[in-house]
Amino acid sequence: MVRTTTFSLLAALTLVPALAAQGFSLDKVGGGMPGLTSFQVRNGVPTNVYLILYAFTEVPTPVPSLGITLDIPDTYAGPSMDVPGFFGYLNAQGAANASISIPYDPAFEGLAMAFQAIQGNGTTWSTSNKVRVTVQTNATFADTLTQPSVPILSGGVVNLPNGEFLFAGGSGPVAQRYSSRTEEWELAGATFGVGILSQSTGLADGRVLFTGGLSLTNGQPTTAAAVYDPVAGTTTNLTMALPRAGHGASLLNNGRVLISGGLTTFDLTNPLSIFNGLTATCEIFDPVTNTIIPGPTMLEPRALHTSTKLTTGDVLIAGGLSLLPIVNVPTVSPTAYRYSQASNSFGLPALMNSARFFHSAAPLSNGRVLLAGGLTLDLSVFLQTGQIQDIILGTRSDCLVYAPSFLGFGTFTAVPGMQEGRAGAGIAPLPGGGALIAGGFRLTIDIPTQTFQIGTTATADVFQQGPNRLFATGSMSAARFLPLGVTLPDNTVLMVGGGPSNTEVWQF
């Protein structure tokens, strides 16, 4: 009875005839409790009637009277009309906004709801895409609604249209796609497998650039590179001038990619040999010609540094393992440089408050950059004694905030307070200029066996500006080593890889 009344009312409305809009869409933001979950209806026909329907199950449902088929039941069509903002007229831009309040109730945890919008003018009707909302307590992690078919260890991510993300390189030769609208994973074809310490960079045209890493055959840095086209399903193999692992890669405003530094050789049996393979060279990938060309040379060689694109289009290269100029003594770099796309050169150094390598970096919404955690290394005694017990390793529990300056040097502000030291953490920007920092590892030396020991963590911290501060948030379900954090359009963060096969969402 409710359904008949609802659609009879819609059909009775007399409006100016109009064709159904192309790309009529529905999106969501939120899903946390307590709090508001917002919905955005877009790309409709101005002045059309719209209705956002909700349901607790999903089944294709034909509605012959409107000539449409829904992805969800229309059981709650009547109650949907009673939700403020769920029923009305599209504005002059063919859009509408609505929201619902979710109170805190443990019984709601994990409740999955589906939503879909319809629009029409009394004679012509159309449907939007379906969206899902899984209720989750704020500041906690929870498994995504579905899980990847193949575990994701690392790799890179490319933003696709309509809230979708392509993950490539971290599942061997398999690409996988995640939809933030429906909170589900699906396979996305074959791609290019990469090794540890490689870089996977999403290009402006939707392709993915893979560069370097430790070879899967001999464990050494490789010159291999490739471009994967997810639409065509093709992979174009390339070769860099030098082998690189632990290098940086950043997409520039002109569509090119700056590939910076890295290790050209690698030998785990000899800790100091890592410094013999450091390079200061850079290369640039040109997406127009699909070629890799020489780039500028940095003033210092470095690897395991961060490379972060600034809002100006420049790139901040910060920290990493390095060599002191002239004397070539192994060290951890306390410097950062800005690469200028306009001049294809590096500017003067900015001095960081504290040296670090294997740290994480994220661009903040106000043009600043957050550097989180990382490792410290003191080789001063070891270089005299040659005894591994004299290597002093540390894992940082602080962060640095980089602020650009007019002259191009830039300044760093220290922010202490992560709940534990972490290197190689997953990091993702948050609305309002903050960032989520999750997982990572601590590196120590076991003196009796003279081996490096890695301890991973599942904890997470939130960085917040105004004033700068760090505070603990909910932990992940398992510890993650070098995870990948991705900010989703609904303001949640997706955390993948680093060991566990499950993927998790952190609710803002």
Task: Report the pLDDT value the prediction gives residue 317, as an integer from 0 to 100.
Answer: 98
Of 458, 496, 476, nearest to 139 by C-alpha is: 476
- What's the gap between Cα 177 and its chain centre? 13
Phi first, then psi, for residue 191 (nearest 5°) are -145, -150
Task: Report the pLDDT value the prediction gives residue 482, as an integer from 0 to 100.
Answer: 94
Residue 200 near residue 170 (C-beta atoms within 8 A): yes
How many C-alpha atoms does 76 have within 13 Å on its Cβ side? 18
Q: Is the confidence at residue 406, as pLDDT, over 90?
A: no
For the segment 410-429, the average pLDDT, to the nearest whole number, is: 96
For the segment 388-402, the average pLDDT, to the nearest whole number, is: 92
Q: Is the confidence at residue 105, as pLDDT, over 60?
A: yes
Q: Residue 387 CB: number of other CB atoms within 10 A?
A: 11
DSSP letter assigned to residue 263: B
The residues that bridge with 452 in the sheet, in sequence order, are: 445
Q: Is the confidence at residue 9, as pLDDT, over 50?
A: no
Q: Is the confidence at residue 428, as pLDDT, over 60?
A: yes
Structure token digits, residue 166? 């392509």
Q: Is the confidence at residue 11, as pLDDT, over 50?
A: no
For 78-173, list the strands marked E by DSSP. 87-89, 96-102, 112-120, 125-134, 136-137, 141-143, 156-160, 164-168
Q: Is the confidence at residue 60, as pLDDT, over 60?
A: yes
- Whole-prediction pTM: 0.92
Q: If 0-12 CB within 10 Å is exposed, 13-18 middle and 19+ buried, where does residue 92 land?
A: exposed
Task: Report the pLDDT value the prediction gives residue 271, as an integer from 0 to 100.
Answer: 62
Residues in the chain: 508
Q: Is the confidence at residue 22, as pLDDT, over 60?
A: no
Assign 158 a pLDDT band (cuts: 50, 70, 90): confident
Assign 453 a pLDDT band (cuts: 50, 70, 90): confident
Task: Write the CA distances from 444 to 119, 268, 300, 319, integer angstroms.
Answer: 60, 14, 26, 20
Task: Report the pLDDT value the prediction gives residue 429, as an integer from 0 to 100.
Answer: 97
Q: Verify cis geometry, omega within 30 degrees of 0, for the bond prior to 17.
A: no
For the segment 249-278, the average pLDDT, to the nearest whole number, is: 88
Q: Is the confidence at residue 16, as pLDDT, over 80?
A: no
For the segment 159-174, the average pLDDT, to the nearest whole number, is: 90
Task: Write the CA distances from 61 to 39, 67, 71, integer angstroms.
Answer: 22, 11, 6
Task: Report the pLDDT value the prediction gives residue 155, as an integer from 0 to 100.
Answer: 84
Assign 109 a pLDDT band (cuts: 50, 70, 90): very high
Assign 407 a pLDDT band (cuts: 50, 70, 90): low
Q: Is 457 helix (H, G, I), strand (E, B) or coil?
A: coil
Q: List pLDDT tens digits, range 355-383.
A: 999 999 999 988 899 999 999 999 888 88
Q: List pLDDT tens digits, range 68-85.
A: 999 999 999 999 999 999
For the segment 159-170, the average pLDDT, to the nearest whole number, is: 91
For the segment 482-495, the average pLDDT, to the nearest whole number, is: 96
**From 73-77, 184-188, 339-343, 445-449, the region with the lowest mean pLDDT:** 445-449
Q: Is the confidence at residue 12, as pLDDT, over 60?
A: no
Assign 274 a pLDDT band (cuts: 50, 70, 90): confident
Task: State the Cα–Cα distance between residues 298 and 411, nearest whole angstrom.
Answer: 20
Task: Report the pLDDT value the prediction gives residue 269, as an integer from 0 to 100.
Answer: 64
Residue 395 near residue 423 (C-beta atoms within 8 A): yes
Q: Is the confidence at residue 488, as pLDDT, over 80?
A: yes
* Look-up of token digits 């379906």: 130
Domains of the chain: 2-137 (2.20.130.20)
Residue 32 near residue 141 (C-beta atoms within 8 A): no
Assign 1 a pLDDT band (cuts: 50, 70, 90): very low
- Amino acid type, 77: A
Across the chain, what does the average pLDDT equal? 91
Q: Is the confidence at residue 21, as pLDDT, over 50?
A: no
**From 134-143, 168-177, 404-413, the region with the lowest mean pLDDT:** 404-413
C-alpha dihedral (238, 242, 248, 249), degrees to nearest 10: -20
Task: Report the pLDDT value the prediction gives residue 204, as an integer from 0 to 100.
Answer: 93
Residue 259 near residue 240 (C-beta atoms within 8 A): yes
Assign 4 a pLDDT band (cuts: 50, 70, 90): very low
- What's the gap between Cα 351 and its chain centre? 27
Q: Is the confidence at residue 101, as pLDDT, over 90?
A: yes
